[in-house]
Homo-oligomer: A and B are copies of this chain.
Amino acid sequence: MKFSINRDLLLFHLNHVTKALSTKPQMPILTGIKLEVKKDSISLTASNSDITIQATIPQSDKLLIEEEGICVLPGKYLFEIIRKLDARDIDFVSFEENMVKILTDRSNFTLNVLDKEAFPLISFDDSPVHLALDVLNLKQIIKKTTFASSISESRMVLTGVAFSTNESKMEAIATDSFRLAKKYMIFDRQYPKISVVIPSKSLDELNKVIEEIDQLVQIHFFSTKVLFKYKNLLFQTRLIEGVFPNTSSLVPTEFMSSLRFGKQELLSAIERASLFTSSESTNIIKMTLTNEGNVEITSTSNEIGAVLEEITPLQCSKIIPFQIAFSSKFFMDALRAFDSAEVTIHFTGEIKPFIITGEYDVNHIQLILPVRVA
């Protein structure tokens, strides 16, 4: 194995691939990055128990391949070396069977290789069941859903985002059973029937490596995994087994009153109102619509004190005085998922789920379950 590569080019791809490195010491081979040097390209592959990422760099004036070969290098060290080198070009040469030299003018690294036979064989074949999404839409789906999935592993299926297609509609839903995030899109043609649950953590990692919003991502579906193809990058994740709860009847469609707010103003008021509700279990705030059509947001801590924030809705469909209590954290998470400058909260009752929508966030809703308070 022998090649010479531009340092910035290699670092760019390592930045992506290292996201799939395992940090668990149980399987040392998964802390490695596999380099496959072929006649006209090199590929870098890393894989942990959830995701596998492979980047392929074609030969160019920034990559000169002299000799083919395969090796697995310790991923963390490879990345740190390339990051710390300030040379323009870096040479890689295999050496004495079990070592690789990384060379620049004045630096000479010798890295012990890991056992390449132990590296898992991973197939990146296409699936007959596939569709294409542009990066912008895919990033939107991820941003608007993953945060609402469960972090508890007691119901594994809720730690993922459920993707399903129905004729020309594709829907993505996440819920931890206290809140729900939903984004769907309508295509201009029919797609094959798909129903999978993708781990939210995998989607968050995918979101970091897909960058150019005008590119297309090809998504290939299998029974236990899904493969995303983006430029020269292959990103594969396992699926979560199990049946995702049917949430279609949860989302209310008739409302008692709908209130429109400036998103940032509302978010700031909620942030202040929740200052005394630091712990997970007691982050409950109350929202009250007064007879005058004003909204008061309050919270109380016996120990510290009390907050009262006033905010006037931009619009209120119907002034019905009422009070509702909910998690300020869930509410702020939901608000931050909107791109619109104005959001509308649709209430159905004091102890019934409410939903949030945004003028420019089409086909997107956030739902929150209120809590009963004395």
Q: Which residues of A contact B (CB under 8 A)?
A: 74, 77, 80-81, 84-86, 99, 106-112, 268-269, 271-272, 275-276, 303-311
| A-B contact list, 10 entries, CB within 8 Å | A77-B275, A77-B304, A84-B271, A107-B309, A108-B307, A108-B309, A109-B306, A110-B306, A112-B303, A112-B304
- Knowing A309-B107, A309-B108 touch, does A84 contact B303 (C-beta < 8 A)? no
Chain B residue numbers with a CB within 8 Å of A109 are 272, 305-308
Chain B residue numbers with a CB within 8 Å of A81 are 272, 275
A303 to B109: give the CA distance in the assembly, Å.
14
Determine whether the beta carbon of B305 is less than 8 Å from that of A110: yes
A311 to B363: give the CA distance in the assembly, Å.
60
Number of copies: 2
The 9 A-B pairs of least Cβ separation, nearest first, read A108-B308, A111-B305, A110-B306, A110-B305, A106-B310, A84-B272, A112-B305, A109-B307, A80-B275
Chain B residue numbers with a CB within 8 Å of A305 are 77, 99, 109-112
A269 to B86: give the CA distance in the assembly, Å.
10
Determine whether the beta carbon of B307 is less than 8 Å from that of A106: no
Determine whether the beta carbon of B106 is less than 8 Å from that of A311: yes
Chain B residue numbers with a CB within 8 Å of A311 are 106
Given A77-B275, A110-B306, 9 more A-B residue pairs with CB atoms under 8 Å apart are: A77-B276, A77-B304, A84-B268, A106-B310, A107-B272, A107-B309, A108-B309, A111-B304, A111-B305
